[in-house]
Amino acid sequence: MANKMIRIGVVGGTGYSGVELLRLLAGHPHCELVLITSRGEAGTPVASMFPNLRGRVDLAFSAPSDAALKQCDIVFYATPNGVAMQQARMLFDAGVRLIDLAADFRLRDAATWERWYGSRHACPELLKEAVYGLPEMHRERIKTARILANPGCYPTAVQLGFLPLMRNGQVDLAHLIADAKSGVSGAGRKAEVHTLYSEASDNFKAYGVGGHRHHPEIVQGLQYLAGRAVSLTFVPHLTPMIRGIHATLYARLNDDADLQALYENAYAAEPFVDVLPPDSHPDTRSVRGSNFCRIAVHRLEGNTAVILSVIDNLTKGAAGQAIQNMNLMCGLAETTGLEQIALIP
């Protein structure tokens, strides 16, 4: 597939992750956008809704059609939870590869998914076919995936922050803490009171303390890395910015390992993880609009590790990572179409 244009369909291209996906795909040298669907906006030119795409995306939104989707090589779902699983069997049987930016295939256990997402899973038998799309964890499996579960934004920042410690067994797995902050675009483009300008601006609050849907996803990944059970306290916060995630992670170390060297060695060959020099403090603007995760590590007295992990929730936390996965699935260089430098200011 690497030697021909990849025929791309995007289902649900009207949200923030959707327009970020379209922005990146429009500049990808090996992709041809053939279909962008929206039930509510069918017939509307995409560039009239998103003027940044004028001259780059000439399609109009179309109503979803099974026949049209079957003509694609890869279909991205930038839809709410529960949509991709309704069409997954049809695409799987037709040989079309599916990349879901929502949560339908992230959890391995159907009962766990149903408990956290409050509905019956439409195709639990396909969960075993799905590959969790964190390249730094599952690169080889991603290459042959037919159903790709793109990770959540918080889980991406948190798992990348903890990954080297999990793999090296140098941390107390019973006392992991993830204190994470997100911009309001993480809540999606739908109109809700808590994301109104006068509600979110000049304000800061925690939410989902009693249980957030990303918690079981993060625990699933950390347990895979550690090879045994972990205990994680995860508290998300809403911040008065549009895009970006900052995760401050805490762990108790079991020995005197050189944290800086551990992280630099773990990510030395990773194209999108940047371990900063000692005593650094990454900020979210350093990754805005890019597919990078930037990490800094600190060791405090009492064997406490503090890991700072920042990503753009719409890029490495959603659309950029989805394209990184597509590149792997199609035999392309992993960085193709994703080498944008972050936007400052």
The pLDDT value recorded for residue 286 is 98
The answer to whether the CB of 323 falls within 8 A of the CB of 340 is no
The pLDDT value recorded for residue 282 is 98
Nearest to 321 by CA among 150, 178, 187, 154: 150
Stretches where the chain sits below pLDDT 50 are none
- Specify the CATH number for the domain of residue 121: 3.40.50.720
Residue 291 and residue 177 share a domain: yes
Indicate the pairing of strand 74-77 with strand 6-11: parallel
Reported pTM: 0.97
Q: Is 97 helix (H, G, I), strand (E, B) or coil?
A: strand
Q: How many whole angstroms separate alpha carbon 284 and alpha carbon 28?
A: 25
Residue 345, class by beta-carbon neighbours within 10 Å (0-12 exposed, 13-18 middle, 19+ buried)? exposed
Q: CA separation (Å) from 26 to 47, 100, 331?
A: 12, 19, 19
Number of structural domains the chain divides into: 2
The pLDDT value recorded for residue 3 is 66
The answer to whether the CB of 214 falls within 8 A of the CB of 235 is no
The pLDDT value recorded for residue 302 is 84
Helix (H) or strand (E) holding 218: helix 214-226
Residue 235 and residue 178 share a domain: yes
Residue 117: which domain range? 6-151+316-329
Does residue 186 belong to any structural domain of this protein? yes
Residue 160 and residue 139 share a domain: no
The pLDDT value recorded for residue 301 is 87
The pLDDT value recorded for residue 1 is 54
Residue 308 and residue 170 share a domain: yes
Does residue 335 belong to any structural domain of this protein? no
Active site residues: 153
The pLDDT value recorded for residue 89 is 97
Q: How many whole angstroms separate alpha carbon 142 and alpha carbon 108?
A: 15
Helix (H) or strand (E) holding 92: helix 84-94
The pLDDT value recorded for residue 255 is 87
Residue 226 and residue 87 share a domain: no
Does residue 334 belong to any structural domain of this protein? no
The answer to whether the CB of 286 falls within 8 A of the CB of 294 is yes
Q: Which two tokens stand for residue 157?
A: 């920042």
Q: How many whole angstroms separate alpha carbon 203 and alpha carbon 214?
A: 23
The pLDDT value recorded for residue 191 is 84
The pLDDT value recorded for residue 115 is 97
Residue 117 and residue 34 share a domain: yes
Burial profile 252-280: b = 16 or more Cβ within 10 angstroms, e = fewer: ebeeebebbebbbebbeebbbbbbbeeee
Residue 268 and residue 164 share a domain: yes
Residue 162 and residue 145 share a domain: no
Does residue 1 belong to any structural domain of this protein? no
Residue 287 and residue 185 share a domain: yes
Residue 128, class by beta-carbon neighbours within 10 Å (0-12 exposed, 13-18 middle, 19+ buried)? exposed
Q: How many whole angstroms separate alpha carbon 258 and alpha carbon 13?
A: 45
The pLDDT value recorded for residue 65 is 86
Q: Which two tokens stand for residue 246?
A: 């900052």
All residues at 6 or more sequence positions from 101 whose CB lies less than 8 Å from its CB, including other chains: 17, 21, 76, 77, 78, 79, 150, 318, 319, 322
Gap between the terminal Cα atoms of the chain: 38
Q: How many whole angstroms separate alpha carbon 319 and alpha carbon 15?
A: 11
Residue 108 and residue 158 share a domain: no
The pLDDT value recorded for residue 257 is 86
